[in-house]
């Protein structure tokens, strides 16, 4: 960090009270203030802001003491009268903007006279409260022109200065387009009876581009009236602008304003727009009618355009109103693909169990987009009844529909479907078996573990095992640890090597303490040194590699170091690296690097060294950088080492 680049800001401050200004501490602060102001008086853009930041803090410290703040304000006022730099004055004006009072008005108003300083003065004045500011702005209005005058008009609007309406009227109706536009929008912000009268008058007395602005400004004023609770006054404005149709964007927004403010008066206008040919008005009418007249919208649907039907279905779905379900099921039977897609995308939010069969049929259809949308909808319809409908349909459905329902059961994580999925996992159709095994991943529970173990031990085909292992591992991870007993009970007597290997995999994925004892025993079984026992040891290594944390890393390191079989050494080392790469926020990065250093010491092949180097940037500490640097001169892995060093240098420095 550059020297003195940042200044510490304390959490709390002791307010300076007026009396305290007389105490030695306060005197010291005053001296500090003078010193900082002297520095600020010379400040130019693109030089150090340290004195400015210190002044900001000093003002903050003075909070809570009106007299203290006013004392500082007096210093700032004097500053603005001095020959300080433009940058310094700019900064002080920004300060006054958030802490100044009417005392600052004369000096700030004086800045408005010069186009070069007008924005500075107005920046400060706009946020200072008090009628004195408004008065000064109004008085200056007549004496200025161009951008300065427009700026003042803008500020009067922001301040909603009702007293300025008389001055704004001639500008709003005048011949200068830019001034007229600014005045019209200032009047829209004020939105009191006098300004509304001018805005109404402007609708007839302006032309061309200014007329469009007059319409927009009147519209905005109408919206402000609604916002302030005066909808009755807003409705005639919206009706007039809607009828005028010019410009079209204002007409559309007026319809929206009418929908918000008009209550019963709005309904006929909205219905007319709904039945009309203007797509934009139609869209707004749909939005306006939806809250109170959804039934009418549904009834109108068959007569409306494709786009309008899509929009109605979209908004019905967003409301999540189950009574609208028939509109969706009807739409699903229609000939328009966009409408069918809208129905499919929305039915997940409004559907019930009754929609399951039709969705399953579409999910089993030939249209890829509709298939995907139907599947998503099947996975989204809420309710246990929908779970049951999915489960109930699986056994009796036609083959493709059955697959769709099996997938839906998995997507829903529906426990009700697990029993039938266990049966389907032994179906003659390999696709049905595979999908059922997959679905068990998210539907299975402790009650299903015995059945799932059986699927691992005696699958219909050996190829089914990998899915069965994955799903059983997932169910075990979310079950009570005692559930592992079913796996252990099957493993101990099993003689089929493939079944034992698969059960070891399951145990590895479970992360269960009892399973770890068994896997360690398999790993360290002396028979693993023999050709006959090599397969079992390999299986134990691979199972431990699937462990959910680094617990087995020492076991794998020991195997990597001492196994006589080179393949086992390599597998164990790679497995350990895989575990070290797992996220482990509670483990300090240095511990991970220590393990990686140990792995690097054992790595005999460049592939393993590269794997270690690839992992190092995950642990941005000095030790990782040192370890990467140590390999920079190793020709086999120099490129990877340099890449790791480069990344670590950046990240270690930033921490």
Partner 1 sequence: MSGRRDFLKCLAGGVVAGFPAIIPSSALGRDGYVAPSEKIVLGAVGVGRQGSGDMRGFLTQPDVHVAAICDVNQATRERIATVVNTRYGDTACAQYNDYREVMARSDIDCVLIATGERWHPLIACAAARSGKHMYCEKPLALSVANMKAVREAVNENSVAFQFGTQQRSSFYYRHAVELARNGRIGELKTIMVGSVRGPNDTLYGTPKEPPPGFDYDMWLGPAPWAPYSDMRVSIAAWLFISDYGLGCLDGAWGIHDIDIAQWVANADRTGPIEVEGTATFYTDIRDVPHEYTVEHKYASGVRLIHMDMVTARKRAPEFNALPSTGATVIFGTEGWIFVSRDGIVTNPASLAGEKIGPNQIQVIRSNDHRRNLLEAIRSGQKTICPIEGAVRAQTVVQQEYISLSLGRKLEWDPVAEQFKNDAEANRWLSRPMRSPWTL
The CB-of-148 to partner 1 minimum distance in angstroms stands at 7
> In this complex, which beta carbon is closest to partner 1, that of residue 84 or of residue 210?
210
> In this complex, which beta carbon is closest to partner 1, that of residue 122 or of residue 538?
122
> In this complex, which beta carbon is closest to partner 1, that of residue 112 or of residue 267?
112
The CB-of-139 to partner 1 minimum distance in angstroms stands at 18
Q: Is 237 exposed, middle or buried (0-12, 13-18, 19+ CB in 10 A)?
A: buried
* Contact in structure between 585 and 605 (CB atoms under 8 Å): no
Chain centroid offset of residue 58 CA: 37
> In this complex, which beta carbon is closest to partner 1, that of residue 148 or of residue 559?
148
* Contact in structure between 500 and 491 (CB atoms under 8 Å): yes
Find, among 422, 426, 410, 507, the residue nearest to 460 by Cα: 426
DSSP state of 608: H
The continuous run of DSSP H or E covering 190 comes out as: helix 177-190
The CB-of-280 to partner 1 minimum distance in angstroms stands at 6
* CA separation for the pair 107, 94 (Å, rounded): 14
The CB-of-251 to partner 1 minimum distance in angstroms stands at 10
> In this complex, which beta carbon is closest to partner 1, that of residue 20 or of residue 54?
54
> In this complex, which beta carbon is closest to partner 1, that of residue 71 or of residue 99?
99
The CB-of-3 to partner 1 minimum distance in angstroms stands at 8
CA dihedral 597, 598, 601, 603 (to 10 degrees): -100
| 445: CB partners within 8 A, 6+ apart | 415, 418, 475, 479
> In this complex, which beta carbon is closest to partner 1, that of residue 86 or of residue 527?
86
The CB-of-537 to partner 1 minimum distance in angstroms stands at 27
> In this complex, which beta carbon is closest to partner 1, that of residue 290 or of residue 563?
290
Find, among 234, 203, 230, the residue nearest to 221 by Cα: 234
The continuous run of DSSP H or E covering 465 comes out as: helix 465-477
Q: What is the largest CA-CA distance in the chain?
A: 103
* Contact in structure between 401 and 356 (CB atoms under 8 Å): no
> In this complex, which beta carbon is closest to partner 1, that of residue 310 or of residue 503?
310
What number of CA atoms fall less than 13 Å from residue 552's CA on the CB side? 37
SS3 397: coil
Tokens 């998503």 belong to residue: 376
Distances (CA, A) of 367 to 309, 335, 339: 21, 14, 14
* Residue 71: count of CB within 10 angstroms of its CB: 18
The CB-of-587 to partner 1 minimum distance in angstroms stands at 8
The continuous run of DSSP H or E covering 645 comes out as: helix 638-654
The CB-of-46 to partner 1 minimum distance in angstroms stands at 5
* Contact in structure between 63 and 73 (CB atoms under 8 Å): no
The CB-of-386 to partner 1 minimum distance in angstroms stands at 7
The CB-of-53 to partner 1 minimum distance in angstroms stands at 5
* CA separation for the pair 440, 412 (Å, rounded): 11
> In this complex, which beta carbon is closest to partner 1, that of residue 381 or of residue 457?
381
Residue 45: phi, psi to the nearest 5? -55, 150
> In this complex, which beta carbon is closest to partner 1, that of residue 281 or of residue 563?
281
The CB-of-558 to partner 1 minimum distance in angstroms stands at 25
* CA separation for the pair 10, 514 (Å, rounded): 54
Q: Please work out, in degrees rounded to the nearest 5, the angle formed at the alpha carbon of residue 500 by the alpha carbons of 495 and 505.
A: 175
The CB-of-346 to partner 1 minimum distance in angstroms stands at 8
> In this complex, which beta carbon is closest to partner 1, that of residue 126 or of residue 514?
126
């Amino acid at each position: 960090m550059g020297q003195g680049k940042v200044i510490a800001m304390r959490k709390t401050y002791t307010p300076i009270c007026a009396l305290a200004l007389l105490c030695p501490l306060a005197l010291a602060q005053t001296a500090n203030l003078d010193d900082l102001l002297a520095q600020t008086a010379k400040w130019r853009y693109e030089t150090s802001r340290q004195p400015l930041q210190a002044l900001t803090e000093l003002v903050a410290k003075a909070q809570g003491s009106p007299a203290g703040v006013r004392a500082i304000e007096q210093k700032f006022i004097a500053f603005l009268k001095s020959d300080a730099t433009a940058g310094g004055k700019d900064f002080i004006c920004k300060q006054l903007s958030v802490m100044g009072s009417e005392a600052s008005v004369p000096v700030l108003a004086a800045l408005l006279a010069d186009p070069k300083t007008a924005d500075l003065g107005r920046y400060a004045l706009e946020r200072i409260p008090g009628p004195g500011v408004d008065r000064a702005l109004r008085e200056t209005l007549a004496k200025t022109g161009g951008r300065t005058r427009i700026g003042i008009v803008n500020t009067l609007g922001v301040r909603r200065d009702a007293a300025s309406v008389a001055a704004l009227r001639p500008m709003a109706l005048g011949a200068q387009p830019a001034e007229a536009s600014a005045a019209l929008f200032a009047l829209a912000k004020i939105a009191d009876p006098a300004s509304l009268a001018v805005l109404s008058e402007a609708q007839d007395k302006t032309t061309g581009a200014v007329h469009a602005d007059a319409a927009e400004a009147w519209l905005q004023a109408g919206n402000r009236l609604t916002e302030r609770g005066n909808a009755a006054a807003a409705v005639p404005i919206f009706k007039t602008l809607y009828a005028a149709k010019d410009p079209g964007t204002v007409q559309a927004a007026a319809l929206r304003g009418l929908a918000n403010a008009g209550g019963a008066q709005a309904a006929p206008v909205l219905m007319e727009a709904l039945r009309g040919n203007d797509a934009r008005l139609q869209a707004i009418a749909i939005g306006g009618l939806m809250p109170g007249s959804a039934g009418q919208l549904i009834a109108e649907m068959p007569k409306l355009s494709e786009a309008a039907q899509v929009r109605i279905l979209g908004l019905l779905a967003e409301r999540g109103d189950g009574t609208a379900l028939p509109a969706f099921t009807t739409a699903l039977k229609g000939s328009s693909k966009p409408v069918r897609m809208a129905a499919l995308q929305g039915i997940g939010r409004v559907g019930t169990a009754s929609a399951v069969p039709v969705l399953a049929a579409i999910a089993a259809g030939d249209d890829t987009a509709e298939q995907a949308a139907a599947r998503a909808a099947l996975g989204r319809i809420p309710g246990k009844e929908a779970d049951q409908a999915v489960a109930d349909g699986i056994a009796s459905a036609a083959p493709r529909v059955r697959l769709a329902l099996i997938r839906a059961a998995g997507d829903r994580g529906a426990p009700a479907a697990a029993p039938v999925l266990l049966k389907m996992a032994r179906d003659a159709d390999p696709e049905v078996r595979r999908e059922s095994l997959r679905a068990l991943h998210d539907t299975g529970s402790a009650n299903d573990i015995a059945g799932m173990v059986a699927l691992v031990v005696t699958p219909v085909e050996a190829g089914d095992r990998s899915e069965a292992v994955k799903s059983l591992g997932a169910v075990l991870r979310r079950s009570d640890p005692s559930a592992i007993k079913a796996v252990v009970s099957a493993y101990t007597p099993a003689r089929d090597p493939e079944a034992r290997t698969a059960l070891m995999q399951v145990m590895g994925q479970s992360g269960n303490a009892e399973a770890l004892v068994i896997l360690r025993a398999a790993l360290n079984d002396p028979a693993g040194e023999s050709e006959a026992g090599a397969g079992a040891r390999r299986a134990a290594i691979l199972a431990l590699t699937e462990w959910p944390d680094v617990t087995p890393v020492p076991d794998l390191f020991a195997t990597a170091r001492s196994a006589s079989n080179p393949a086992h050494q390599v597998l164990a080392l790679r497995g350990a690296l895989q575990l070290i790469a797992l996220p482990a926020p509670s483990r300090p990065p240095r511990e991970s690097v220590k393990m990686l250093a140990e792995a690097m010491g054992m790595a005999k092949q460049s592939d393993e060294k590269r794997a270690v180097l690839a992992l190092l940037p995950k642990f941005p500490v000095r030790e990782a950088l040192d370890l990467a640097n140590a390999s920079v001169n190793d020709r086999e892995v120099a490129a990877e080492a340099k890449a790791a060093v480069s990344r670590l240098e950046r990240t270690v420095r930033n921490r």
